Amino acid sequence: MRLNLVRRNVIKTFLVLTISVGALGWLLTGASPLPSDGFATLDSDATRGEAVFWAAGCASCHVAPGTEEADRPILAGGQSFASPFGTFHAPNISSDPVAGIGSWSVADLGNALLRGVSPKGQHYYPAFPYTAYTHMAPGDVADLHAYLLSLPASSTPSQAHDLGFPFNIRRSVGVWKWLYLRSDWVLQDAPTPELERGRYLVEALGHCAECHTPRTALGGLSQRDWMAGAPNPSGPGRIPAIHPKTLNWSVEEIAYYLETGFTPDFDSAGGHMARVVSNFARLPATDRLAVAAYLKALQ
C-alpha cells in the first residue's frame, strides 16, 4: 500500500511538472504584438513610402513569378523559396482588401515588419525577413503602408507554405524568435550620418545579410560570419562574400555596381541580385554611397 502511494505521488508530481512546463512554454512562445496605439499619431506619405518600398525590396519577392518589376508593381505573390525546412510561398501583399493587405492598418503592418506577427496574432515564418525589418523606423512603416495601399490590387489568393512536421507548427517560431529576433545592430558604431544611413539600408531595409551571411542549423544568421557569403538559399551555387576582408572594391565601385549592376571586372549582376540592383538604382546616389561606406566599415 505504501509503495502504491509513493508511486501515485510520483506520477502526480510528474504530471504537475509536465503541465507547468507546457504552460510556461506556451506562454513564452506566444506572439508579442506592439501596443495598439504605437502608430496612431504618425503621419504617412506615399511619396516617402515609395523610397522605403524600393530600398526594402518588396517587389523582388512579392510580384508574381516571371513578372518584371514595373514602376507600380502588382504584388500578387506566388514566388516559391525552397529551404531545408520546406518551401515558402510569398503571399499576396497587394491592396486587395480580401486577398491582400488592403484592410490592414498601419499597426498591422508594423507588427508584421517589426515583430513578425500577423493581424490574427500568429507568428510569421522568418522566410519573411522581419529580423532585419525589426530595425525599421515607425515613420517608415507608416509611409510604406501608404504607398502599398496606393498600388494596384490583385485578387489572387496566397498559397499555403509546404512544410512538414514540426516546422508546420507556427507556435514553434516563438522559440526561434527568442534566439534570433534581436534589436541590436551588428555595426554598433556608426559615428557619421552616412554610416548610420548605410547601416539602416543594409541591416534593416535592404536585409542584405539574408543572402550574404551563412546560417546556423536552426536557420538564424551567424553574426560572427557577417557578410561572409553563404549557400544560395533558393538554388545551386553560392552567394558571394561582401565583407571587406574579401571584397576589395572601392566605395565608388560598390556604389556604381548598385546603380548599374556592372562589376569592376566587367561582369554583371544576375539572378536575384539583378532585382536588388534595379531597386537600388531607384534610390538617391547618396544612399548607394552610404551602403558602400557601411560595407567598407565592417571589421
Q: Which of 121, 151, 183 is the last residue of a domain?
A: 183
Chain position carrying cell 556604389: 255
**What pLDDT does 22 receive?**
46
* Residue at 210 is within a domain: yes
| Strand pairing category for 162-163 and 230-231 | unpaired
Percent of the chain exceeding pLDDT 70 equals 89
Residues 53 and 170 in one domain: yes
Residues 40 and 170 in one domain: yes
Task: Provide the greatest CA pair distance for the chain.
Answer: 86
Whole-number mean pLDDT of the chain?
Answer: 88
Residues 74 and 131 in one domain: yes
**What pLDDT does 87 receive?**
92
**What pLDDT does 104 receive?**
97
pTM beyond cutoff 0.85: yes
Model confidence pLDDT, tens digit, residues 119-153: 999 999 999 999 999 999 999 999 999 999 999 99
Residues 177 and 71 in one domain: yes
Amino acid type, 117? V
Q: 230 phi and psi, to 5 degrees?
A: -160, 160
Residues 195 and 170 in one domain: no
Alpha-carbon gap, residue 187 to 105, rounded angstroms? 32
CA 159 to chain centre: 19
Residues 51 and 177 in one domain: yes
Q: Among 12-21, 188-197, 260-269, where is mean pLDDT lowest?
A: 12-21
Task: Show the domain range for 263.
Answer: 184-299
Handedness of CA 213, 225, 169, 34 (dihedral sign): negative
Residues 56 and 165 in one domain: yes
Model confidence pLDDT, tens digit, residues 167-182: 888 888 889 999 999 8
Q: What is the mean pLDDT of residues 68-94?
A: 89
Percent of the chain exceeding pLDDT 90 equals 68
Q: Is 20 exposed, middle or buried (0-12, 13-18, 19+ CB in 10 A)?
A: exposed
Model confidence pLDDT, tens digit, residues 93-121: 999 999 999 999 999 999 999 999 999 99
Checking if the pLDDT of 57 tops 50, the result is yes
DSSP 153-183: P--PPPPPPEE-TTTT-GGGHHHHHHHH---
Residues 51 and 171 in one domain: yes
* Residue at 14 is within a domain: no
* Residue at 223 is within a domain: yes
Nine-digit cell string for 103: 484592410
* Residue at 280 is within a domain: yes
* Residue at 8 is within a domain: no
Total domains in the fold of the chain: 2
Please count the other Cβ atoms lying within 10 Å of the Cβ belonging to residue 220: 17
**What pLDDT does 140 receive?**
97
Q: What is the mean pLDDT of residues 43-53?
A: 96
Q: Which of 135, 158, 183 is the last residue of a domain?
A: 183
Checking if the pLDDT of 277 tops 50, the result is yes
Residues 225 and 100 in one domain: no
**What pLDDT does 71 receive?**
73
